[in-house]
Structure 1
């Protein structure tokens, strides 16, 4: 097992990788103690059946630059293959503002090839590569050095089996002509907005039971301060204060340090210093907010006039169409989207892109009374009207 610790060795490996059609990649990282993921290890493999052309890259090695890897990411002649790539891509985007191009995600490809929703790597290794994985190091501290041979073996398996999985899925996509389905799904993964957390909108992730404008204005300011503070210091937002403490602060509206001292849920470190000052200023700003600028919760779907009979028919249609296509129903449309369609909404994912081909077009025809559903043995068939 070769571990690359110099920029020169990484550049040489990436130069060789450019002579192949694809490379497989994975990362190991830590995020428990930081806001942004700490990259600890990169695994890569070129096509083949042995471990000879697979390497580990140590981003913690002194003086190592990842620029040769990023140059490979920009080389569109080589497909970069990941499994469940979102967190990996976030690391590279935050570090260098670059996305691998072209990208292939075997989890996404497996979903459209009939392996179910969010299928795990271990499942694909078992079903496609006919292998098994040792998951004993799943929760290891990848920042500690030196890495053991067992850790290296575990890490390398995440890219060596991936070669066979990629070749199988790529062949399946070519056969069933679903490659564009995968490309549509990957557009979200390669969109910068997927990885940028805007402090102004951080409040939308806080669960509350109150829709009061003044209350939500305070929540917005508290969430904004927490996000700014956590990003600037690269610490988890929960280390500033947790959501339940944030909601408590929005309810009690502390105005002085003594008020903060009476909080039941606020961490001791947050009752003094910069955090305490930030909390008090955030509460003050929320209280001073013009009612015209109060945040509003989008509850439009809660007020939909759903036709329950039509919603049930759409569920039957969805089951029939997904069984025929060999994809998981939830991948096409969750129950809430079916209710929205039955209530007359048309801006749902199931009615666009490849989902429209599989289900959306017939769903609209069902809503318009142009088709009916009939049982034929164990199957549900469409009847033209």
Structure 2
């Protein structure tokens, strides 16, 4: 097992990779104690069976530059293959200011090819590569050195099996004419804005049932302060205060440290000092927000009246269409999409692009009373009314 620890060795491998049709990529990282992921290991593989065709790159070695990898990621003659790429891409976008292109995500491709919703890597290894993965090193601390042979083998397996999976899925997509479907799905992953979290938008990540304007204004300010504090000190959001505490604060509207001391959910260290000052300032800012500037929620149920019976029919239609197309239901439409359509909304992803051909066109026709559903043997089919 080859571990690269110098910039020269990395440049040599990347030069070889630049002549290959694709390179498979994975990372190991830690995020439990930091806001930003700490990159601990990079795995790379190119087509071939020689030992030097699959390598580990140790980014923790002092003096090692990752510039050769970033240059390879910018080389559009080489496809960069990941599985469930989002977290890996976030690391490279933040640390190197680069998003690999062209990109291929085997999890997305597998969903398009009928392997189910968010299919796991182990499943694809078993079904496509006919291999198995040793799980003993799954919950390892990848920042500790030296790495054991078992850890290295586990890490390398994440990119060596990926070669067979990529070749199988890319061939299947070409055969079925669905390559563009995957490319459409990857547009979000390849957008740098996907990985930039603006503190003023952090409130959108907090799940709450309360939608009153004043509550949401305070929640927005509290979420923004938490995000700014966590980013500046590179600590997890939960180290500042957790979502349940944030919601409690937005409800109770504390105005003093004495009020904070009565919180059931706030961490002890957040009841005084910088965090306490930030909380009180955020609550006050939220109380002063003009009603016309209250946050606008995207909850379709607040804006449109959902027809439950029609929503249920759309779910049956989605299941039937997904089975016919051999595509994961979740990839075509979410439950929220179906509710929006049933409520008369049309600005949803399920009604555009390839989804419109597979599901959206008939979904609209059903809402308009032009088609219905009927049982035909073991299948559910669409018929004209």
* Alignment TM-score > 0.5, same fold: yes
Aligned to 1:31: 31
**1:196 paired residue number:** 196
Where in structure 1 are there 5+ consecutive unaligned residues? none
State the shift of 1:302 in Å: 4.2
Q: Note the C-alpha offset of 1:150.
A: 0.8
How far did 1:156 drift?
0.4
Instruction: Point out where structure 2 has 5 or more consecutive residues left out of the alignment.
Output: none
Superposition pairs of residues 367-378 of structure 1, within 5 angstroms: 367-378=367-378
Q: How do residues 1-385 of structure 1 correspond to structure 2 at under 5 angstroms?
A: 1-385=1-385
SS at match of 1:188: coil
* Contact kept in structure 2, 1:48 and 1:163, CA below 8 Å: no
Seen in structure 2, the aligned counterparts of structure 1 residues 250 and 379 have a Cα distance that, compared at 3 Å, is closer
Structure-2-length-normalised TM-score: 0.95
Give the direction of change, closer, same or farther, for the CA distance of 1:207–1:48 in structure 2 (3 Å limit). same
Per-residue CA shift, 1:223-282, capped at 9, x if unaligned? 111100000110001101112222222233222333323323221221222112211211
Q: Distance in 2 between matches of 1:79 and 1:37?
A: 24
Aligned length: 385
Residues 289/365 of structure 1: CA separation in 2 closer, same or farther (3 Å cut)? closer
Deviations 1:18-38 (A, max 9, x none): 111001010000000000000
Deviation at 1:50, TM superposition (A): 4.9
Instruction: Give the stretch that moved more between structures: 10-19 or 212-221.
Output: 212-221
Q: Assess, with a 3 A threshold, how the Cα gap between structure 1 residues 75 and 248 changes in structure 2: closer, same or farther.
A: same
Q: What SS does structure 2 have at the residue aligned with 1:80?
A: strand
**Comparing 97-106 and 197-206, the one that deviates more:** 197-206
Alpha-carbon offset, residue 329 of structure 1: 1.9
| CA shift for structure 1 position 194 | 1.2
- Structure 2 vs 1, CA of residues 84 and 251 (structure 1 numbering), >3 Å: closer, same or farther? same
203-212 or 238-247: which moved more? Answer: 203-212
Kept in 2, the 8 Å contact 1:51–1:160? The answer is no
Distance 1:186 1:208 in 2: 29
Does the CA-based 8 Å contact 1:306-1:339 persist in structure 2? yes
> Mean Cα displacement is larger for which, 114-123 or 248-257?
248-257
d(CA) in 1 for partners of 2:245, 2:15: 51
1:213–1:312: structure 2 CA closer, same or farther, 3 Å change rule? Answer: closer
Counterpart CA distance in 2 for 1:330 and 1:351 is 14
SS at match of 2:92: helix
**Distance in 1 separating the partners of 2:379 and 2:251:** 54
Q: 1:241 to 1:311 in 2, by over 3 A?
A: closer
Deviations, residues 168-189 of structure 1 (Å, cap 9, x unaligned): 0010001000000000110010
RMSD, matched Cα: 1.7
Cα distance in 2, alignment partners of residues 271 and 311 from structure 1: 46
Rounded to whole Å, the distance in 1 between the matches of 2:218 and 2:263 is: 16
Q: Is the 8 A contact 2:300 2:340 kept in 1?
A: no
CA distance in 2, matches of 1:221, 1:238: 16
